[in-house]
Amino acid sequence: MTDKSYKEYLNHITTFIFDVDGVLTDGTITITTTGEQLRRMNIKDGYAMKTAVDAGYNVCIISGGSNEGVRKRLQGLGIKDIYLGAHNKVIQYEEYVNNYNLKADEIIYVGDDIPDHPVMSLVGLPCCPQDAAIEIKAISKYISHKKGGKGCVRDIIEQVMKVQGKWDGNFDAKYD
């Protein structure tokens, strides 16, 4: 943690990277009798991600989970860079950063638990939901007042876009 306010980092952000379980979801799963694992995502988080994509931001998902329903939902929002089944998230992070020639200070990573810690230590603005693990809160420069799956993604995206003058209440954005 530095003395620098997290708001001072927002002007330089071009890229959002999100974990799924515990960030885009509340971290719970429903298991059907066939073994399918169901997750719930917040529609407001989806709107914000679609708005960020449409505004030209890089949006990437790096998750240890491998649910294809999650992939379809995120692709429907226009997200192209989706890494599922990532057991060492640093590998996918480095691949993504190299593919787009990104610098750490341009990147927000939002994670909630121990598997996110290595990547969060590499980015300019590590963030987490209000209900993240204590170890993640300790390294986050911003802790959302919203819980995972309950609007923390919208909170973070909206703050960046407002600071950069790109959150204009565009009510014509299309999302699912």
pLDDT exceeds cutoff 90 at 169: no
pLDDT exceeds cutoff 60 at 80: yes
**HSE (CB half, 13 Å, CA atoms) of 144?**
30
pLDDT exceeds cutoff 50 at 2: no
Q: Over the Cα atoms of the chain, what is R_g?
A: 15
Query: Encoding tokens for residue 105?
Result: 């200070």
Summary mean pLDDT of the chain = 93
Amino acid at 26: D
Amino acid at 86: A
Q: What is the DSSP letter of 1?
A: -
Query: Between 3.30.70.1230, 3.40.50.1000, 3.30.200.20, 3.40.600.10, what CATH number should domain 17-163 receive?
Result: 3.40.50.1000
Scanning the structure block, which residue is given the tokens 């300019």? 124
pLDDT exceeds cutoff 50 at 90: yes
Determine the pLDDT at residue 6.
87
Domain ranges across the chain = 17-163
Share of the chain above pLDDT 90, in %: 86
**HSE (CB half, 13 Å, CA atoms) of 101?**
0
Determine the pLDDT at residue 78.
97
Helix 152-163 vs helix 43-54: crossing angle, to nearest 10:
30
Cross-sheet strand order for the sheet of 107-110: 81-83, 58-62, 15-18, 107-110, 125-128, 142-143
Determine the pLDDT at residue 168.
78
Scanning the structure block, which residue is given the tokens 């997750």? 39
Quick one: pLDDT band at residue 5, thresholds 50, 70, 90? confident
